[in-house]
């Protein structure tokens, strides 16, 4: 199959841990690679946000990243990108007008990619699948006036959900949210995000400890990730340190507003000596950080999916997190972790404490978490389910499902 992915702001080549670079970048890169490994040819279209970027960059065997000139060739906040989507669509439509370059399916990631993919797909007869990654209605509910998304977002998402050929939701909570937009069950299928279970493993080096017990939090350093909930839990968890990964590299933390807020909060609560903000950590180095944890905590206000809990599970660590979004599916309560209401430090401490006091239970939950990550969330299974979704769309439309393309056949020869 020839597969186009559109990920307008989240390039699979981007650095992780910045304000706008997170799970979507990881997801698109891993999914593209695993689909290619299954014998498909994948092109990932992303906005050209630096004039030095070549038009095409190989990402992995069978995967190319295509930089689309749409808007100024510099980094823009994702909330400013909507006006450039018609230009993005025009580039796609022009490319796909040539039957030699036309994909069998296009899979859009995030709502604005859907705008471009649907326009180009309809103009050239390419079926469109949509993964939202996050929904504007949920963001608006939680962030209210702080939500900087374009005002059109909710209406555009609702119409995309009704118009694309299939919505791929990442968790059951998203299916419930989508039904409110009129996208019934036949239009939506759940395929979760995945985790690299060969990279994130329980065995290997672990970051050194500086206290008897350790909690680890990993994620973009933005308020809605709720790291302050973990800081607020510390006063009743003596002997426990909290390692916070994310945000700018360590040298830039003193200028980062969320880092400053968390540092001030820790000082107010008298726990500054037990909160360690380490800044951005390369994806490659993260397993050692997860492994150093007794318990990984993830306490967002809301979470469309949450790859961090999966990474923690794959590293064999129990997770205590907010009972929201994707965590409701990924965390098996009382077996791999515990779920607590968001923004509730007392509930978090109450769930974490018995785990910190019981090494056996931590090990048992950690083993179950690893097994669950491998069995359900390995990228091979996620890629196979995504491939099946593409094939179903083609079949439903009476189209042939193309055979896999051998990897050694160059893209140009297709
Ligand atoms: N991440 C990273 N380094 C950091 C912070 C985060 O590599 O310093 C990665 C993290 O390992 C995970 C992703 O960024 O793969 C975050 O994904 P998640 O779905 O948890 O949250 P999002 O950022 O999409 O809201």
Closest ligand 1 atom, residue 247 Cα = 8
Residue 9 lies in a domain: yes
Residue 352 lies in a domain: yes
Q: Quickly list DSSP for 386-402.
A: HHHHHHHHHHHTT---P
In tens digits, what is the pLDDT along the chain, a chain of 414 residues?
999 999 999 999 985 545 556 789 989 999 999 999 999 999 999 999 999 999 999 999 999 999 999 999 999 999 999 999 999 999 999 999 999 999 999 999 999 999 999 999 999 999 999 999 999 999 999 989 889 999 999 999 999 999 999 999 999 999 999 998 888 888 999 999 999 999 999 999 999 999 999 999 999 999 999 999 999 999 999 999 999 999 999 999 999 999 999 999 999 999 999 999 999 999 899 999 999 999 999 999 999 999 999 999 999 999 999 999 999 999 999 999 999 999 999 999 999 999 999 999 999 999 999 999 999 999 999 999 999 999 999 999 999 999 776 544 444 433
- Whether 16 and 156 map to the same domain: the answer is yes
- Whether 317 and 175 map to the same domain: the answer is no
Q: What order of strands is seen across the sheet that includes strand 295-298?
A: 275-279, 240-245, 213-218, 295-298, 319-322, 337-340
- Whether 170 and 232 map to the same domain: the answer is no
Q: Is 218 in the pocket of ligand 1 (CB under 6 A)?
A: yes
Residue 120 lies in a domain: yes
- Whether 185 and 262 map to the same domain: the answer is no
Q: How far is the CA of 286 from the centre of ligand 1 (A)?
A: 10
- Whether 84 and 225 map to the same domain: the answer is no
Beta strands 41-47 and 63-68: pairing type?
A: parallel
Q: Is 245 in the pocket of ligand 1 (CB under 6 A)?
A: yes
307, 321, 325, best to mutate for ligand 1 pocket (most atoms within 8 Å of CB)? 307
- Whether 8 and 138 map to the same domain: the answer is yes
Q: Is 312 in the pocket of ligand 1 (CB under 6 A)?
A: no
- Whether 157 and 265 map to the same domain: the answer is no
Q: Is 311 in the pocket of ligand 1 (CB under 6 A)?
A: yes
The number of folded domains in the chain is: 2
Residues forming beta bridges with residue 267, ordered by sequence position: none
Q: How far is the CA of 187 from the centre of ligand 1 (A)?
A: 29
Q: How far is the CA of 300 from the centre of ligand 1 (A)?
A: 13
- Whether 372 and 388 map to the same domain: the answer is no
Residue 202 lies in a domain: no
Q: How far is the CA of 404 from the centre of ligand 1 (A)?
A: 31
Query: At 201, phi and psi to the nearest 5?
Result: -130, 160
pLDDT for res 405: 60
Cβ atoms of 264 and 294 closer than 8 Å: no
Residue 205 lies in a domain: no
pLDDT for res 20: 58
- Whether 319 and 389 map to the same domain: the answer is no
Instruction: List the domain range (segments joined by +) for residue 229.
Output: 213-376
Q: Which is nearest to 309 in space by CA: 252, 382, 365?
A: 365
Q: Quickly list DSSP for 207-231.
A: PPPSSSEEEEEES---GGG-HHHHH
Closest ligand 1 atom, residue 300 Cα = 25
Q: What order of strands is seen across the sheet that includes strand 56-60?
A: 56-60, 63-68, 41-47, 2-6, 105-109, 128-131, 166-169, 188-190
Residue 206 lies in a domain: no
- Whether 230 and 296 map to the same domain: the answer is yes
Q: How far is the CA of 283 from the centre of ligand 1 (A)?
A: 8
Nearest CA to ligand 1 atom 1: 17
Long-range contacts of 353-359 (CB under 8 A, 24+ apart): 353/236, 353/237, 355/294, 355/295, 355/318, 355/320, 356/213, 356/237, 356/240, 356/294, 356/295
pLDDT for res 130: 98
Residue 200 lies in a domain: no
- Whether 155 and 260 map to the same domain: the answer is no
Q: How far is the CA of 249 from the centre of ligand 1 (A)?
A: 14
pLDDT for res 18: 55
Nearest CA to ligand 1 atom 10: 308
pLDDT for res 410: 44
Q: CATH code at 366?
A: 3.40.50.2000
Q: Is 220 in the pocket of ligand 1 (CB under 6 A)?
A: yes
Closest ligand 1 atom, residue 246 Cα = 8
Nearest CA to ligand 1 atom 7: 283
Residue 204 lies in a domain: no
pLDDT for res 413: 39
Closest ligand 1 atom, residue 305 Cα = 19
Q: Is 192 in the pocket of ligand 1 (CB under 6 A)?
A: no
Q: Is 19 in the pocket of ligand 1 (CB under 6 A)?
A: no
Q: Is 21 in the pocket of ligand 1 (CB under 6 A)?
A: no
Q: Is 216 in the pocket of ligand 1 (CB under 6 A)?
A: no
- Whether 10 and 139 map to the same domain: the answer is yes
Tokens, residue 272: 């500054």
């Amino acid at each position: 199959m020839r597969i186009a992915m559109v990920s307008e702001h989240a390039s699979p080549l981007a650095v992780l841990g910045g304000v706008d670079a997170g799970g979507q970048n990881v997801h698109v890169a891993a999914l593209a690679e695993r689909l290619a490994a299954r014998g498909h040819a994948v092109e990932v279209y992303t906005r050209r946000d630096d004039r030095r970027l070549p038009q095409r960059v190989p990402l992995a065997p069978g995967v190319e990243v295509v930089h689309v000139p749409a808007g100024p060739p510099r980094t823009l906040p994702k909330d400013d990108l909507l006006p450039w989507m018609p230009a993005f669509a025009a580039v796609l439509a022009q490319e796909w007008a040539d039957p030699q370059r036309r994909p069998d399916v296009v899979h859009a990631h995030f709502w604005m990619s859907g705008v471009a993919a649907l326009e180009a797909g309809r103009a050239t007869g390419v079926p469109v699948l949509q993964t939202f990654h996050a929904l504007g209605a949920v963001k608006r509910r939680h962030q209210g006036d702080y939500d900087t998304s374009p005002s059109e977002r909710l209406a555009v998402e609702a119409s995309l959900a009704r118009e694309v050929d299939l919505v791929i939701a990442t968790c059951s909570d998203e299916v419930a949210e989508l039904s409110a937009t009129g996208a019934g069950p036949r239009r939506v299928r759940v395929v979760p995000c995945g985790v690299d279970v060969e990279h994130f493993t329980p065995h290997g080096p672990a970051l050194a400890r500086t206290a008897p017990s350790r909690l680890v939090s990993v994620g973009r350093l933005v308020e809605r990730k709720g790291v302050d909930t973990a800081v607020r839990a510390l006063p009743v968890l003596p002997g426990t340190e909290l390692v916070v990964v994310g945000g700018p590299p360590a040298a830039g933390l003193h200028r980062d507003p969320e880092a400053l807020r968390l540092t001030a909060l820790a000082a107010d609560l008298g726990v500054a000596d037990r909160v360690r903000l380490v800044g951005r950590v390369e994806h490659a180095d993260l397993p050692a950080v997860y492994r150093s944890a007794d318990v990984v905590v993830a306490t967002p206000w809301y979470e469309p999916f949450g790859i961090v809990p999966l990474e923690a599970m794959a590293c064999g660590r129990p997770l205590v997190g907010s009972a929201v979004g994707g965590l409701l599916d990924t965390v098996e309560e009382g077996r791999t972790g515990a779920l607590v209401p968001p923004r509730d430090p007392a509930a978090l401490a109450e769930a974490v404490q018995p785990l910190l006091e019981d090494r056996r239970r931590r090990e048992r939950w950690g083993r179950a978490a690893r097994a669950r990550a491998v069995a359900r969330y390995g990228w091979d299974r996620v890629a196979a389910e995504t491939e099946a979704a593409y094939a179903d769309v083609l079949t439903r439309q009476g189209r042939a499902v193309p055979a896999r393309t051998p990897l050694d056949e160059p893209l140009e020869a297709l």
